[in-house]
């Protein structure tokens, strides 16, 4: 029987927002909001916080989280969760990578990702995207775009506006990629052994490494936009949202 866990990578260092995981939002550390919403996903066997910082680890222990201390040498959250995945019991077949700076992460989406992975063992990797709404700036390089094939697998991810609309009357729908991923455990451990690829380094998008190595990435479409906290100003915005939930 397939079993899925979620791992939330969290690091202290951030160029724009040092100490972000412990920044208090609506009376709790940011990372606690992420953990609580992730724990509410019924399709998960367990939830772990992966960190190399004892300040984050101690705070997470205080609010009851399972914490896994990881190497400080990791260059990405994927490398960090893979270290944890290696140590998990053999019964754990899949891993969901939940971003540690998204305190309103959609619990229903986590369940969809987990259930889709379980239902189709041939899917090595899965992620999510939502349609751009009218008036949004699709040229914004910080909003990553994804184009899909007819089976809802990713054809390409880019910081550029793709597909290019040669005709202003183009019927194309633009999709914003969300930074949540799921993997079969076997694929995750294989993925981190691959060297960074040309397109990955060009776009600075880690998921392109999977496509360049011929892997399939299934993309679930959701109506809800993902909200991350990159700056103290973002934290104020999220605080207002949490008060309405």
Q: What is the mean pLDDT of each run of 10 residues along the chain (245 residues)?
A: 95 84 93 97 98 97 97 93 96 97 96 98 97 91 96 98 86 93 98 97 97 98 90 86 79
State the pLDDT at residue 245: 73
> How many Cα neighbours within 13 Å face the side chain of 137?
6
138-141, long-range: CB < 8 A, 24+ apart:
138/174
Short-list 115, 106, 133, 227, CA closest to 182: 115
State the pLDDT at residue 109: 98
Cis previous bond, 99, omega within 30: no
68 has which bridge partners?
Answer: 50
State the pLDDT at residue 123: 98
Q: Are 116 and 2 in contact (CB under 8 A)?
A: no
State the pLDDT at residue 128: 98
All structural domains of the chain, each given as residue ranges with its CATH number in brackets, are 4-229 (3.90.550.10)
CB atoms within 10 A of CB 152: 14
Phi-psi region of 214 (alpha: psi -120 to 50; beta: other; left: phi over 0): left
User: CA 188, CA 97: separation in Å to the nearest integer?
Assistant: 10
User: CA 139, CA 144: separation in Å to the nearest integer?
Assistant: 9
Short-list 166, 214, 174, CA closest to 190: 214
CB atoms within 10 A of CB 83: 19
């Amino acid at each position: 029987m397939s079993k899925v866990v979620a791992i939330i990578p969290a690091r202290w260092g951030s160029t724009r927002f040092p100490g972000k995981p412990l920044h208090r939002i609506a009376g709790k550390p940011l990372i606690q909001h992420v953990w609580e919403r992730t724990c509410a996903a019924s399709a998960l066997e367990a939830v772990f916080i992966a960190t190399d910082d004892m300040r984050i680890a101690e705070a997470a222990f205080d609010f009851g989280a399972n914490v896994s201390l990881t190497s400080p040498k990791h260059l990405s959250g994927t490398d960090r969760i893979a270290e944890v995945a290696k140590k998990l019991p053999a019964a754990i077949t899949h891993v969901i990578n939940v971003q540690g700076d998204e305190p309103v992460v959609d619990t229903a989406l986590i369940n969809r990702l987990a259930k889709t992975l379980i239902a189709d063992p041939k899917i090595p990797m899965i992620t999510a995207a939502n349609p751009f709404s009218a008036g949004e700036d699709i040229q914004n390089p910080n909003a990553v775009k994804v184009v899909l094939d007819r089976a809802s697998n990713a054809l390409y991810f880019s910081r550029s506006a793709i597909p290019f609309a040669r005709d202003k009357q183009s019927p194309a729908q633009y999709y914003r990629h969300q930074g949540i991923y799921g993997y079969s455990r076997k694929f995750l451990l294989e993925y981190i052994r691959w060297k960074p690829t040309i397109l990955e380094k060009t776009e600075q998008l880690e998921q392109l490494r999977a496509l360049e190595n011929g892997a399939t990435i299934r993309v679930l479409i959701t109506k809800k936009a993902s909200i991350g906290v990159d700056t103290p100003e973002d934290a104020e915005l999220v605080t207002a949202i949490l008060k309405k939930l």
